[in-house]
Amino acid sequence: MSCGFRRCVTLECKGKGGERLSTERIEQLVKEALQGEPAPPSSRGGKGVPPVVRKEQERLKTAKRQKPKKRTSLVYTQTKVVKVPMETLRQNRVLAGSPEEPWVNAYKLLRTRVLHRLREMDNANTLAITSPTPGAGKSLTSVNLALSIAMEVNKTVLLVDADLRRPSIHSYLGLTPKYGLSDYLTRGVPLERMLINPGIGRFVVLPAGRPRSDSAELLTSPQMEKLVKELKQRYHSRYIIYDLPPMLAVADVLAFAPYVDATMLVVEEGRSREEDITHSCELLQQMNFIGAILNKSRERSKGYYSYYSY
């Protein structure tokens, strides 16, 4: 799936050869990745499946052969409700706190296209969102996409903060959770003690918990695999969105992406480099890549600010 806003927007960043990188160039890179064609070689690229992907795939096969520890069934009936002030959401540019802002329309378009793409994939309901490098706005994008689906569609959305190294979902929502995903994976804290509804309709959050340096190992553990499968299978009407770390910074994305139905990439205008986008697309070709989001776009359309394009 290519970017939805097709007018050319010149970015401030430079490509590998020093040329200016445009929205159309980003769209071309994503289109080639979605079609399974080799993207233009980057300084780190290569032909075929990248060695780092093969290594993670082999590690995943080994992990899947390990017998998971016996755990009790998950319970969701005691979800904590913590009402977040609208002013906090507005200040953090969270959609629920700014329903009249012009950029909300861009999220509605994004929501429509993402849901359509997931339905095409035999009603897939799990999506992982990442970016090439830090600072592209993937976490805020994850929050607002999840909220857009929960507020407009008759389905529940669970947003999982799987960026265990640098979690941030809770801060956007003004939450101070005591436990999170890392506590579930390492200490066996019951899931029902960690799920939070911030007082917004059918929207539930699973915070990351305490930051962990061994996040790649935790995200490929038998406990995590079981959690992903049970969340997917228990609630067929629920969409689950996972906010993952930047994929070129750590190995977490390559380790976790095979567990979900689809992946998306957030690219920042004026900051993301062509070689990073190319390399990310090469890796995501193996991970059910469905499209990219151009974040912090400066182009305007039909009188409203096109904050995101997809």
Q: State the amino acid at position 215 in one-letter form.
A: S
> What domains are there in the chain, each with its CATH number?
10-66+75-309 (3.40.50.300)
Q: Looking at residue 144, what is its pLDDT?
A: 94
* pLDDT tens by residue, the chain, 310 residues: 433 333 333 333 334 444 545 566 666 776 676 666 544 444 444 445 556 556 655 655 565 555 444 444 444 457 888 888 889 999 989 988 777 787 888 888 899 999 999 999 987 999 999 999 888 889 999 999 999 999 876 888 999 999 999 999 999 999 989 999 999 999 999 988 999 999 888 899 999 998 998 988 999 899 999 999 888 887 777 899 999 999 888 888 888 988 999 999 998 876 677 888 888 888 888 888 998 888 866 554 433 333 333 4
Q: Looking at residue 147, what is its pLDDT?
A: 93
Q: State the amino acid at position 304 in one-letter form.
A: Y
pTM: 0.76
Contact between residue 107 and residue 148 where contact means Cβ atoms under 8 Å apart:
yes
Q: Looking at residue 130, what is its pLDDT?
A: 93
Q: Looking at residue 48, what is its pLDDT?
A: 52
Convert the pLDDT of each residue in 149-165 to its tens digit: 998 768 889 999 999 99
Look up residue 194 and give its two tokens. 């960690």
- Inter-CA distances, 297 with 9, 10, 266, Å: 8, 10, 12
Look up residue 8 and give its two tokens. 């050319």
Convert the pLDDT of each residue in 196-213 to its tens digit: 999 888 899 999 998 998
Contact between residue 221 and residue 164 where contact means Cβ atoms under 8 Å apart:
no
